[in-house]
Each structure stands twice: as structure tokens, then as C-alpha cells.
Amino acid sequence: MSFLRKFFLYKCLFALTCWNYVSLSVEDELFTSASNHFPEDGSNEKMNSLPLRYTKSHQSKTDSGWVVIQNTTESLSLSEITDSNVKKLVALLSNFRQGSKLQNLTLTNVSVNWNALMEIFQTVWHSSIEYFNTKNVTQLLNIKRYKFDYSGTSMKALTMKKIIITDLYFIQDDLYEIFADMNIEDMTIADSEMIHMLCPSSKSRFRYLNFLKNDLTDLLFQECDNLHQLETLILKKNKFESLVKVSSMTSRMKSLKYLDMSNNLLRHDGAEVQCPWAESLAELDLSSNQLADAVFGCLPANVRKLSLENNQISNVPRGMAELQSLEELNLASNRLADLPGCSGFPSLQFLNVEMNSMLTPSAEFFQSCPRVRELQAGHNPFKCSCELQAFIRLERRSGGKLFGWPAAYECEYPESLRGTQLQDFHLSLLACNTALLLVTALLLTLLLVAAVAFLCIYLDVPWYARMTWQWTQTKRRARHSPPGDQGSALQFHAFISYSERDSPWVKNELIPNLEKGEGCVQLCQHERNFIPGKSIVENIINCIEKSYKSIFVLSPNFVQSEWCHYELYFAHHKLFSENSNSLILILLEPIPPYLIPARYHKLKALMAKRTYLEWPKERSKRALFWANLRAAISVNLLKADANLYEETD
């Protein structure tokens, strides 16, 4: 090969190499990655993700004035677009006709006028770009009608965030009709203080519209018939107020499936008006509004997922809503006092009622809602009492259907149990079963009454009560007796108490031996010393009071005598009330213990503690018996009476 031929070949190869290098360098420098429209607030709106292939990221200032943020063969991301470099940008984008690899374009910090922005849009519209994103568009001046050519485009999605219009006076329709008539499927205009949007002038291709964080009102898309293909509509953080008008807006959107109306000012007063929702609407987000119980009278009939979180709902009215297809219901952060029933939601599977006002939620929830697979009821101010026990048992029977158990379920009341997990709270069956508690209390009361009655009968309490009453009445009459009455002065050495059956011994042995001979003893006997006209009990008390001693002739006959019992009771009462040693017991005949009635327990105590005299059967021992008896009752009545008055004083 000659030198000339070699030189020519090398020159051609060099030229071809330089051309390829220039071409590739332009694409490598300018192609950058571009993300699809993702909500900057982290919400889970339904966005279309892009399958992008990212390469090495870098940021560099170009001679054209813009900054290259990131580039790949499919994506280009530029910043700092101004009026001065718009023409260069348009010239650059004009090279990427349909069929080029560039699909994603992102422009950030765009400070241009209206015509320049429309020129960029028009160029992009006829390029290979499918996903166009702009952010921080400022200095938007001189807005006027622009004849936009929508034909022959590859565009699928447009995202515009933080658009600031500085032009104060312009025709609104000139701005909105540009975007309303775009023949693309997805469009996002977010955080731009947009107050309105026109209905498309013809049948629109829109499937996805996102107007997050603007100033849109109830006038949006009223009587709009050209959004038949729209499936997703996001109107979060705007200024909608009427739920009825929102439903009317959707009524002509025949394909609408998802609607986000959260963080607005929506109300519904419960007036009997129709709410004509789109029949295709399956998911509706009405959280963070001002809706109350009446909202259940204005809901789409075919909705499957419904969020009413953070509203003012205190009750789910029965019979108001018939949502046969509803599967998921979010009622968190409201004012519910109890779990709602499922009479209007037969298909409900998931329910969220966290952060409400439920103290003791009903335990019959899963019975009325058999298809529910998960219940989120944590973070409520639970009142740990008997009424809550049934709800706690519900968790065991439900088989793990309570979401967040046990960490999210704690006692709020009473103060002593605050912070205690419900699984650690227990009360006895008796404490929580009212019927069982009443039966137990009744049985204990009956047992107590029976025991008291038995003791009263066994110990003869009524008799003692009656005797105590007689004693107090006699003492009262004695205190109110005339001053000259000497009723309480000692007149006898001893009062004799005996059974009528033992009267022969008393009359033939006791009285003759004590009242005759040396040291004559004055005895008080009922037959001769009871005062006519007074009651027997009063006579007994008076005789005991007037006697220094009381002699009781004990025998089996004595314990069987009612009056002997009275006399023993009053004498024993005097023994303790005056702290005197006034009782003398004579055992005339042995008394078997089984013959002594239960009410004679005082007699048993006296015979066990005090010395008593036994009547001897042998005559030789009787002289000693009388001597001991005389010694026991020997006393100077006048001196004893004086001592008694001194003690009384």
C-alpha cells in the first residue's frame, strides 16, 4: 500500500472517529437521569415509576449557563435555566427527535417568561422525551394565549412542582387551557398555589391527575364530560369544602377508581341531598377533613377502601350507609366511644379505630363482623374495669386479629393502672359477675341471719333483752320515786330464790333455822314480802335491791323454773353492777349438766367459779352447814346500808 493511500485511509478513519467522539460526547454530557413524579411529602399516591438506568452522576457548569446535574443515555437533568440560555436549550432539545434514546428530562430552577417556557414545552412535545419534570419555575411573566401544537408527541407524563406566577394581570384561561388540553396520560401540578383548572375542551387522554397542595375549590371540574378515561385523581391539601360537590364532580368520570381528598375543609351537614359518586370509584381518601357522623349518608356505594381518619366522627349510624363492597375502613383519630357494627358493611375485612375515645369497647364486634380479619384498636384510653374483661378475652378468641397486641393496648384509667398492658390486667370472676356477686352476697346474708338467729335462740337473747328492759324500767321508776320513798334502803339480810317444788325444805328447814335463835336473820320471801299491785318482775327486782344477800336454792327443780331464772339474772346483774359479793348458792340436790338449759350459762359459770354450800344428807353435818350459812349472811343492816349510800354518793 502506497504512502498516499495509507495517508488517505488514516485521514478517513480519523475523521470518522472524531465525528463519533463528538456525537457521543454530546449525548454523554447532556443525557441525565430524570425521576418520575413522586410526592415530596412522602405520601403514597399512585405514581408511575420509571425503569431508568442510571450511570455515573456528576454536576458541572456548561458554557451555556445551565448546570448538568445527572446524565445517562436515557435521562437528562439540568438546572439554572434562564431567558438567556433558553434558545440554546431549545436548539439542543431539537436534536432529539422521536426515535432518540432520551426519554426523561428534568429542569430545575427555571427562571423564564411565559413565551420561553412554552417554547421549551413545545420543543419537548415533539422530541423523544416521554417524562418531563420541572421544579421551581419562577419569573413567569407576560402570560397570554399561546397556540400549542399537541400533535405527534411521545409525551406520557408531565410533572410541575412549585410554579410561581409573578404576573398579576392575565386571563386565567390562557394559562389553564394549555395544561387542560394536553394529550398525555399523567399530569402533576403540585405546590403551585393553583386556584382553578379548566375542563379539557375535548375527550381527554388523562388517566392520572395530581393537583397536590394547591388552592383548588369546589368549582373544579363541575359538569365536566371530557375526563372519561381518568382513573386516579389526587386533590390532597386544597380548599374543597362541600362533599356533595365533590361527589358531583366525580359523577361524570366514568373510569375513576382512586380519589384522594385528604387534608381539605370538607363538611357534610346531613341534608337529604343525593351524592352522585362515580360508580367505578373503589378507593376514597377523606382523611383530615371536618366530617362528622353524617358523612355515612354521602359515600360511594361501590367503594372498597375508605379512609375517614382524623375527622370528627363519634358514631357510625346504623342503617345510614349500605356499602356492600367495603373491605377496608380507616376511622383512626376520631371520637368513637365504641367499636362500630358491620350491619352496613357486610364485606368488611380490615378496620382501623386507633386513637379514638374508646374506654370499654364492645366484645361482640367479631360476632357482628364475621369477615373481619384484622382490627386495629390500639392507642385508645382504655378503662381497666370489669367491662373491659370481655374485650381482653376477645383477643384470645379472635386468634390474633387484634393488630399491635399487646404493646398498643394499655390502661389509661384508673390512675393506679395507667401504663399497664391489657394482657396483664386481671379481675376475679366474682368481682365482675354481678349476678354471681348478688347470689354470693345473698347467701352470705342468709347464713349470717341464720347464725344470728341460732345464737339468739341458743343463748336466749330475746329473753335477756326483755329482762334488761325490765331492769332499766324499774331503775328509772326508782330514780323518779318520791323523796320519802325508802325503796332502795336495805331491809333484809337475804332474798330467797327457790323453786315452788322445793318450798317444803325452805319453809321447814331454811327459814326456821335462820330466823330463830341467836343472830336472827331477816329473810325476804316472795310469799310474804311481794307488794300487791306491782308486777312480779318489779317485785323481784325490789326485793333483791332491798336485800344484802341473795340465796339461791339450786336443784333440778330450780333450773326448770322460769321465775328462778329471772331472779338469778337480776341477782347476777346486781353482782356485777355494784361489784358486791351478794350471791350465796345452796346446792340442795346434785344437778346433772345435761339438765341445765343453754340460757343458764351464767349459772354454769357461777358454779364453776364460786364456792357453794351443799345440803348434807347426814344430820351430824347440818349444824356446820347452818353455821357457815349464818356466817355468810351475817351483817349489820344499818352499817351496810350506810356503806351502800356512801358508795352511791
pLDDT(469) > 50 = yes
pLDDT(35) > 60 = no
Asked if residue 138 is part of any domain, the answer here is yes
The domain boundary, picked from 170, 195, 217, lies at 170
- What is the extent of the structural domain holding 623? 489-648
> Distance between CA 270 and CA 274 in Å, rounded?
10
Asked if residue 523 is part of any domain, the answer here is yes
CATH assignment at residue 591: 3.40.50.10140
Q: What is the pLDDT of residue 20?
A: 36
Asked which of 6-15, 88-97, 181-190, 348-357 is least confident by mean pLDDT, the reply is 6-15
100: left (phi over 0), alpha (psi -120 to 50) or beta: beta
Q: What is the pLDDT of residue 332?
A: 96
pLDDT(559) > 90 = no
Cell digits for 271? 341534608
pLDDT digits (tens, 9 = 90+) for 277-309: 999 999 999 999 999 999 999 999 999 999 999
Dihedral of CA atoms 145, 151, 153, 156 in degrees, nearest 10, equals 70
Beta pairing partners, 76: 71, 105
Q: With bands split at pLDDT 50, 70 and 90, how would you rate the model's confidence at 78?
A: very high
pLDDT(538) > 90 = no
Asked if residue 303 is part of any domain, the answer here is no
Asked if residue 622 is part of any domain, the answer here is yes
Residues of the chain with pLDDT > 70, as a percent, come to 76
pLDDT digits (tens, 9 = 90+) for 405-429: 989 999 999 898 899 998 888 877 6
Per-range mean pLDDT, top range of 166-180, 246-260, 583-597, 599-613: 246-260
pLDDT digits (tens, 9 = 90+) for 14-30: 443 333 333 333 334 44
Which residue reads 380548599 in cell numbers? 239
> Distance between CA 375 and CA 395 in Å, rounded?
10
Q: CB of 57 within 8 A of CB of 35?
A: no
Q: What is the pLDDT of residue 633?
A: 81
Per-range mean pLDDT, top range of 475-479, 518-522, 583-587: 583-587
Cell digits for 537? 318482775
Asked if residue 604 is part of any domain, the answer here is yes
Q: What is the pLDDT of residue 571?
A: 66
Measured in whole angstroms, the distance separating CA 234 from the mean position of its chain's CA atoms is 35
Count of the separate structural domains present in the chain: 2
The domain boundary, picked from 121, 155, 170, lies at 170
Asked if residue 480 is part of any domain, the answer here is no
Q: With bands split at pLDDT 50, 70 and 90, how would you rate the model's confidence at 90?
A: very high
User: Between these two residues, 533 and 14, which has the higher pLDDT value?
Assistant: 533
The domain boundary, picked from 143, 170, 197, lies at 170
Q: What is the pLDDT of residue 11?
A: 39
Asked if residue 420 is part of any domain, the answer here is no
For the chain, the average pLDDT equals 80
Angle (deg, nearest 10), helices 562-577 and 536-546: 40
pLDDT(512) > 70 = yes
Instruction: Say how many Å lie between the first and final Cα of the chain, rounded.
Output: 164
Asked if residue 457 is part of any domain, the answer here is no
pTM above 0.75, yes or no: no
pLDDT digits (tens, 9 = 90+) for 104-157: 999 999 999 999 999 999 999 999 999 999 999 988 888 899 999 999 899 999
